Structure 1
């Protein structure tokens, strides 16, 4: 089973489409939504979907703490998180799952689409090969919701550092995955998610803080050579 965690805070404009996209899955799954205290009708929308499990984050400790709460309550051996304004593409997402179940991989990732606020696809984002090498050199080789991983790996690296990271916790987590010699990454040639880009996301509004967090984690700054390599292997 895969456990999909969705952190949300006042996501009434997006959460219904998020839930409906996940509901279409034909693989064993559970969908856990962790609400950070929404006041805009988000919870009323969620209540219309009986198969969704809701957790209430009582402390305002940020998105990564919310996702961690979801992982703690999850029952799947495979886990990931998909933000409330993102949509999964069930054929690609199911391919992620069957690949990780039938292989010895710890992390499986794929391609993604960027969409705008009206839902139009504005960019194809190909997952890059050599993910482990790129992550070790500070480059995120895929769009986060297009990757799934084992719960065993998550706890092996200690999970999210949600105390020190509010914006770049995803990069920190996958960077620590890449440092383990035995961990295997695998890319599939499928589109598995539509990722909303509209300039008002947490990351878009906090680039300065994200850079500071990157420095705090001692994640390497990509060199020109690595950037060139990164472009070449984006197939």
Structure 2
């Protein structure tokens, strides 16, 4: 039986996403658990708003207005979510496949799972030392209690990796992270962080962990690049 005390908010950010928005919405509405669905549209000029309007009665909130990018949209959604909810973000084209089991919500501050990147690759989110160097938690399979950070969580100066910055800040505070391999989402290829920006990533590492670790991160990135070239 579903635990009625579990509150889940899912926020979808979209701009000119007519090709994919309906699949993303349906992937949320098809879940068995009760979900508050919030959609933040950046004043789309195509048929996105028309498509979303078909589902308006099933949405918790829907806003369509100009924004400053995906993290501005995510922050707007966060501020509209119930203060007691677990929050998950999807970009247009992403899809939620399966939410965590109920028992994980009663034990965790943050729940993380797996993300399908393509038909051959599933990314297993991780915490630990590597999160200090790179973003090993993907937002498509990450549920965070709003009460951990009641105000807008994303620093919009990081236009590509504000979620990486937020994840590091959460990890530094010793909250309870719990992994659930049942928890599964799909990430549409080609999102804002698809092309690696080393300088922005290093700036985040330096901000949260200092100069020494940012130097180590440079070495780590070089080794990763070499590994990719040899594969």
TM range (shorter): 0.7 to 0.9
Matched with 2:160 is 167
Summarize deviations over 1:185-224 as a string: whole Å, max 9, x none: 1111225101122x4x32225x3xx333223321531755
Deviation at 1:122, TM superposition (A): 2.9
1:1-235 pair list within 5 angstroms: 1-49=7-55, 50-52=57-59, 53-58=61-66, 60-75=67-82, 76-90=84-98, 93-95=99-101, 98-103=102-107, 105-115=108-118, 121-128=119-126, 131-135=127-131, 137-155=132-150, 159-162=153-156, 164-180=157-173, 182-197=174-189, 199=190, 201-205=191-195, 207=196, 210-217=197-204, 218=206, 220=214, 221=217, 224=220
Verify the 8 A CA contact 2:100 2:182 in the aligned structure 1.
no
Matched positions, count: 205
In the alignment, structure 1 segments of 5+ residues that lack a partner are 116-120, 229-235
Deviation at 1:177, TM superposition (A): 0.6
Matched with 1:232 is none
Q: Is the alpha carbon distance of 1:132 and 1:183 closer, same or farther for their aligned partners in structure 2, counting shifts above 3 Å?
A: farther
> Aligned partners of 2:140 and 2:100: how far apart in 1?
13
> Aligned partners of 1:80 and 1:170: how far apart in 2?
12
RMSD: 2.3
Q: Secondary structure at the match of 2:198?
A: helix
In the alignment, structure 2 segments of 5+ residues that lack a partner are 1-6, 209-213, 225-231
